[in-house]
Structure 1
Amino acid sequence: MKFSEIAQVFEEGFAGTDQFKELSKKAFQLMKSDPENAALYYVVGVAAHAYVMRYEDQGVDPELANRAKEVLVGFSKRIVAALPQDASQRLQTASAIAIDYEWNVREF
């Protein structure tokens, strides 16, 4: 499965923990099958996994879940746009997403 397909399924799905878990799992699987783009898959996989680890065992306010989903949809769209680019641009995108996640995402 291509990342664009995984991202689309995530975007169209319900903002439940299972969706985040599936995104994380599939992103990490893609790291093995497409190692040239592993950094891109890793950053979105880590963010999705962090959400699961923090909220899996509790009820989540739908507003929070939707905000988190919007963040990951945004990251995913940036990744999809970067995939056809050269290696330097893909690395820049992975780095920009990592910085954005670290410094701007507080809820997960």
Structure 2
Amino acid sequence: MNFNDLIQRFAAQAPGTDSFLKVKEGALALVSSDSRHAAAYFLIYGFARSYVILYEDQGIDPAFAETAKSQLLSYMTRLQEAFKSDAPADIVDAMNWIVLDYGLSGKIF
């Protein structure tokens, strides 16, 4: 599986802890299989892991779950765009943007 596949699968799934669990597992697998982008994958892994830990045993409002999914999907898409340029500076810029955006968000995961 590559990052594009992970994004497409996540986008197609219903929002909820099961879909975040699959992102968590997929991102962790990518850390070891694509070491060039390991930090970016680990960032996504951390967000997905946090969501699973926080909400796996709770009933989640569908609107909340959709908001969380949209936020994580936007971060994944931002990284995917940065990977296309193959410039390390673009990837670092994307990761910095994600961290800053997350800090300003409601920090739902």
**How much has 1:105 moved relative to structure 2?**
3.5
Is contact 1:47–1:101 with CA below 8 Å preserved after alignment? no
1:38-73 per-position Cα deviation (integer Å, ceiling 9, x unaligned): 121111111111111100011101010000000011
**How much has 1:103 moved relative to structure 2?**
2.9
The aligned counterpart of 1:65 is 65
**How much has 1:98 moved relative to structure 2?**
1.8
Identity among equivalent pairs (%): 32
1:82-101 per-position Cα deviation (integer Å, ceiling 9, x unaligned): 11221111111112112222
The aligned counterpart of 1:93 is 94
**Length-normalised TM-score, structure 2:** 0.92
Instruction: After the TM superposition, list the runs of 4 or more consecutive aligned residues in structure 1 that deviate by more than 4 angstroms.
Output: none
Distance in 2, Cα, partners of 1:61 & 1:83: 33
Distance in 2, Cα, partners of 1:104 & 1:82: 21
**Length-normalised TM-score, structure 1:** 0.93
Query: Please, which runs of 5 or more residues in structure 1 have no aligned partner?
Result: none
CA RMSD of aligned residues (A): 1.1
The aligned counterpart of 2:26 is 26
**How much has 1:107 moved relative to structure 2?**
1.9
How many residues align structurally?
108
Query: Please, which runs of 5 or more residues in structure 2 have no aligned partner?
Result: none
